[in-house]
Amino acid sequence: MANDILKTTAGILSVAGVACGLSCAHAALPLPKPLLDETAPKTAENRVIVLSGGCFWGVQAVFQHVKGVVRAVSGYAGGAAATANYETVSTGTTGHAESVEVTYDPRETSAGKLLQVFFSVAHDPTELNRQGPDTGTQYRSAIFYTSPEQEKIAQDYIAQLDAAHVFSKPIVTEVAPLPKFYPAEAYHQNYAAEHPDNPYIVANDLPKVADLRKEFKDIYVER
């Protein structure tokens, strides 16, 4: 039975290297809440933060199930408009990172809560310019903030986690202002939800969503 399982797993992984490459979902690591978070909103206006953590399929899939997230869109951030397309970004020379624009209702969630999810289940923030075997600057860990408050929350949370030694290696997540976000091609949007039987999704992204459901029961929503 063990050999059969190994053969099956190897078979799945051998064909899983599509679009975003071959990688293995990192184990969930429930983390403490940020000591610093956003202040209560004075208006009901939605807010935006852009998060990069490897292949955008999985990051989008996670945040589509978070309470208070109005919309999660796969795309590119960090580079120029002329190179904001999958074929060019995949060369790793554009400055872009595969990213997800997370629009959220600050009355229901917060930048701090979203970052807690980001670091806990969405990716491994200690891997530099890669997630698993997916290598290149386009797979880097990054937080593109849209307000000084988000910047402060992100920097303080990283310092908090590093000081607590919750990871075996230092966090390498880039914290930078969002220059502009470019939505990815239509076929990348909602990819995990629309292709749940894709071997890459089965091996890499469905476990992240399952970890979210397990570790964040209070904010997990079915969609």
CB atoms within 10 A of CB 53: 28
Among 20, 49, 51, 55, the active-site one is 55
Regions of the chain where pLDDT drops below 50: 1-24
How much is the pLDDT for 16? 36
For residue 38, the number of C-alpha atoms closer than 13 Å in the C-beta half-sphere is 24
pTM for the full predicted model: 0.89
Residue 40 tokens read as 């209560």
How much is the pLDDT for 103? 98
Residue 164 tokens read as 């607590």
* Strand pairing report for 141-145 and 174-177: parallel
CATH number at 123 reads 3.30.1060.10
Asked if 69 and 221 touch (Cβ cutoff 8 Å), the reply is: no
Asked if 178 and 146 touch (Cβ cutoff 8 Å), the reply is: yes
Domain assignment present for residue 113? The answer is yes
Residues of the domain holding 107: 2-215
What do you get for the CA distance between the two ends of the chain, in Å?
35
| Domains of the chain: total | 1
How much is the pLDDT for 133? 72
Domain assignment present for residue 76? The answer is yes
Domain assignment present for residue 32? The answer is yes
Domain assignment present for residue 220? The answer is no
**Which amino acid is residue 179, in one-letter code?**
P
Domain assignment present for residue 9? The answer is yes
Task: Read off the pLDDT of residues 117-152 as tens digits, 9 standing for 90 and up.
Answer: 999 999 999 999 999 778 999 999 999 999 999 999
24 included as an active-site residue: no
